[in-house]
Amino acid sequence: MDHFLYRDGALYAEDVPVAEIAAAVGTPFYVYSSATLLRHFRLFDEALAGMDHLVCYAMKAASNQAILKTLAQAGAGMDVVSQGEYLRAKAAGVSGDKIVFSGVGKTAEEIRTALSGGIRQFNVESEPEMEVISAVAQELGQVAPITIRVNPDVDAKTHAKIATGKSENKFGIPIARARAVYAHAASLPGLQVVGIDVHIGSQLTDLEPFRKAYEKVAELTESLRADGHDIRRLDLGGGLGIPYTRSNEAPPLPVEYGQLIKETLGHLGCEIEIEPGRLIAGNAGLMVSRVIYVKSGEDREFLIIDGAMNDLIRPAMYEAYHDIVAVTEPAPGIESLAYDIVGPVCESGDTFAKQRTMPPLVAGDLIAFRSAGAYGAVMASEYNSRPLIPEVMVNGDQFAVIRARPDFDEMINRDTIPEWL
């Protein structure tokens, strides 16, 4: 469920007409619903009721500080994968003891920043990384809390570019080597082993891969405890999918996911951490764009819009589907037309949809890309010297720009001309 609904023929974001936001900030833009963000976070929190747990929002999905602060005030921790994300979380008021640092390539500088500012744990991805964390912690006179990410060799049955739990993926250490790697970790003076980490991929629409992975984690927990390790925390990653189309078979609900965790891991008495990102932010955001031209081709009609692949890259990168709707609700019984919906960037890949049925549209009409809250604004670029588009947050009948569109002077003046020119 989201809070983007038609009322009296107009699309609203909570209690604000989307067209009103477009008039105020220009197009294209992203708009997020506070109510949807909070509803989705609470679904996960409630799904783990009765277990010691922390829901850490995966910031890579959408990292504007207004989103982070909204979730942090509701009790969320944060899962970060870079120094920049760590500093964003801190700037949004998240305390270090609620920040988990993931990622395969943490640098000594990133590790030092997190240890100096406070960290709940590092999710370690390799033995060389483990040694660097230990060395930096000793430098600072600290002991770094760690989990080790194990790769369970489970096929998440998702897009190849977002699968992370198979043996050929770059993430974690093979689960078959886990006992040896944990023994190595225990021998390093700057580390304190606190648990196990696993994450098998993103946009999963079936619980069975989770079950297989968590059963392996349960077995490993017992083995590591027998080896003398104090395994008291299990970080299970994120990955639960969202429905990108209204007609899709719905992915599992957070409550069903929570029940699976309780069934497979509840007997271990561990604190549970989960790191949802897409399911919290995805359906909480729209990208809104305006039609520039309607162009007739040889055998098709093109909607040329002012949003482009640099604003929302998922269709070009992942062949991702987004439901696209008119901001003005079509009248009942109106005949739809098939359009190729494309942006203005000089790339054939700047295509959002082919032969998508829409109500008849003309230049100036507004359209909205649903489920654009995750991996939209955070993956945007200034390709073709196009400014990053604004982000807007709605709360009831209020809205605020939470990231402004830069002007061209601001963009151009970031360049520095060398003296010899």
Q: Exposed, middle or buried, 414 (CB in 10 Å: 0-12/13-18/19+)?
A: exposed
Distance of CA 377 to the CA centre of its chain: 11
CA pair distance 276, 111, nearest whole angstrom? 23
The residues annotated with a catalytic role in the active site are: 346
Alpha-carbon distances of 208 from 36, 219, 261, 393, rounded to whole Å? 27, 17, 12, 36
Q: Residue 248: which of 282, 217, 211 has the closest Cα?
A: 282
Distance of CA 375 to the CA centre of its chain: 6
User: Are 163 and 200 a contacting pair, CB within 8 Å?
Assistant: yes
Neighbours of 34 (CB within 10 A): 21
Q: Exposed, middle or buried, 328 (CB in 10 Å: 0-12/13-18/19+)?
A: middle
Q: Which two tokens stand for residue 11?
A: 């699309």
- Cβ-based neighbours of 257, under 8 Å, separated by 6 or more: 44, 47, 207, 210, 240
CA pair distance 275, 269, nearest whole angstrom? 19
* Residue found under tokens 């070009």: 316
User: Are 80 and 123 a contacting pair, CB within 8 Å?
Assistant: no
* Residue found under tokens 């080790």: 148
Q: Which two tokens stand for residue 125?
A: 């991805």
Alpha-carbon distances of 295 from 28, 279, 300, 342, rounded to whole Å? 20, 36, 9, 11
Residue ranges of the alpha helices (H) in 118-251? 127-139, 178-187, 208-226
Residue ranges of the alpha helices (H) in 233-284? 254-265, 278-281
